[in-house]
Homo-oligomer: A and B are copies of this chain.
């Protein structure tokens, strides 16, 4: 262990002289009748968290809403109760779906259209995978460039263990006809939005999921069925899934062409770009938090890439002049959040910290300036534009002040 870290750890320690406390414990033990192993008590059928825990989803402006509190989560699993939620229009009826009445239909360019109840799907061979989901609008300049916390800026991504039936199994059973090249997925929410996904992707790794983190999917996340489309932008993970239609072209519905594409400077739109990232963000210390004080400060965060597996995360604590490799928590799973750690000795001076993700395809997370250069605009364009800039994966800088406060430093 480095002497510097020991120096830090000492802060956590208090003088000894605790023998008295230990003795009290021994006394208590002898007075209490111990009934080991035979009792099961104090456990409700379905437990809840401690009344002292307050981590919660918020909206961008602090209203009750759907952004995951990344500053509070640990490890790589997002608790289902805190998984991010973005809804399209009024989805109240979809939140009340009775699973006994729900059906999933597979039709279109297939030899044998199929309809399944949820129970029928549960009796088929299943697959489980830990996968991130991220909304393409996460960290969208238009809506979050001036926002302060990691939750407000990056809270549209979460990671769960999803369980269900491989869509490829159902497609093979239905018999996909020649010439088919896309699927159209639709959910039960009133807006009945549809999403076009390449058939190749559907055959590769899509899941008709009924399980999330070991139990049924939560209502706001698509109960009882959700199409999981690993690594693709979140909207392709269709909630309250009712049908998949096999077709020979994308449908170009308004929500796909007008709402979920990126307008270019020349007025044309970039669309049907599915894969997200590579991306990473330091979740602690992050905007709105305070440093422990000069000396040891653990840096931790999350990294992910829709292109594959996170291979490397580098951290800079000097405004981007130098970068050092962070430690990745093993195992690093493909298309899942990866947790990184970095031991930092802060000298107490103002500085900027940031992280940079590289995936196993060699894709590297760009800086805001690099993205602007590609676009042929000034960086400040991304704060002032009213265009929707999807899939924004610029490096997130956090400014640390002498006073130990931490602030969003993107364009600040």
The reply to whether A213 and B45 form a contact with Cβ atoms under 8 Å apart is: no
Chain B residues contacting A56 (CB-CB under 8 Å) are 45-46
Stretch at the interface among A59-67, A345-353, A357-365: A59-67
A43-92, CB < 8 A from B: 43-50, 52-53, 55-60, 64-67, 72-83, 85-92
Please measure, in the bound complex, the distance between the C-alpha atom of A190 and the C-alpha atom of B36, giving whole angstroms. 12
The reply to whether A107 and B260 form a contact with Cβ atoms under 8 Å apart is: no
A178 within 8 A of B: no
A231 within 8 A of B: no
The reply to whether B36 and A260 form a contact with Cβ atoms under 8 Å apart is: yes
Please measure, in the bound complex, the distance between the C-alpha atom of A33 and the C-alpha atom of B90, giving whole angstroms. 9
Chain B residues contacting A127 (CB-CB under 8 Å) are 329
The reply to whether B75 and A161 form a contact with Cβ atoms under 8 Å apart is: yes
A341 within 8 A of B: yes
A192 within 8 A of B: yes
The reply to whether A76 and B223 form a contact with Cβ atoms under 8 Å apart is: no
A322 within 8 A of B: no
The reply to whether B76 and A128 form a contact with Cβ atoms under 8 Å apart is: yes
Q: 1/0 per position for A27-38, CB-CB distance to B under 8 A?
A: 011001111110
In the complex, what's the smallest C-beta–C-beta distance from A59 to chain B, in angstroms?
5
Number of interface residues of A (CB under 8 A): 135
A39 within 8 A of B: yes
The reply to whether A79 and B215 form a contact with Cβ atoms under 8 Å apart is: yes
Please measure, in the bound complex, the distance between the C-alpha atom of A33 and the C-alpha atom of B259, giving whole angstroms. 13
A120 within 8 A of B: yes
A264 within 8 A of B: no
The reply to whether B34 and A128 form a contact with Cβ atoms under 8 Å apart is: no
Chain B residues contacting A66 (CB-CB under 8 Å) are 40-41, 43
A10 within 8 A of B: yes
A214 within 8 A of B: yes
Please measure, in the bound complex, the distance between the C-alpha atom of A190 and the C-alpha atom of B30, giving whole angstroms. 10
Please measure, in the bound complex, the distance between the C-alpha atom of A44 and the C-alpha atom of B221, giving whole angstroms. 12
Chain B residues contacting A377 (CB-CB under 8 Å) are none
The reply to whether A34 and B215 form a contact with Cβ atoms under 8 Å apart is: no
Stretch at the interface among A14-22, A198-206, A400-408: A14-22
Stretch at the interface among A111-119, A272-280, A311-319: A111-119
A218 within 8 A of B: yes
The reply to whether B254 and A34 form a contact with Cβ atoms under 8 Å apart is: yes
Chain B residues contacting A9 (CB-CB under 8 Å) are 114, 124, 170, 173
Chain B residues contacting A32 (CB-CB under 8 Å) are 89, 190-192
15 A-B pairs whose Cβ atoms sit less than 8 Å apart in the complex: A1-B173, A18-B105, A25-B243, A37-B86, A37-B260, A43-B57, A47-B81, A47-B82, A48-B218, A72-B215, A74-B211, A75-B128, A75-B161, A75-B162, A126-B300
Q: Which 8 A-B pairs have the closest CB atoms?
A: A45-B56, A43-B85, A75-B128, A74-B211, A43-B66, A40-B65, A13-B114, A29-B192
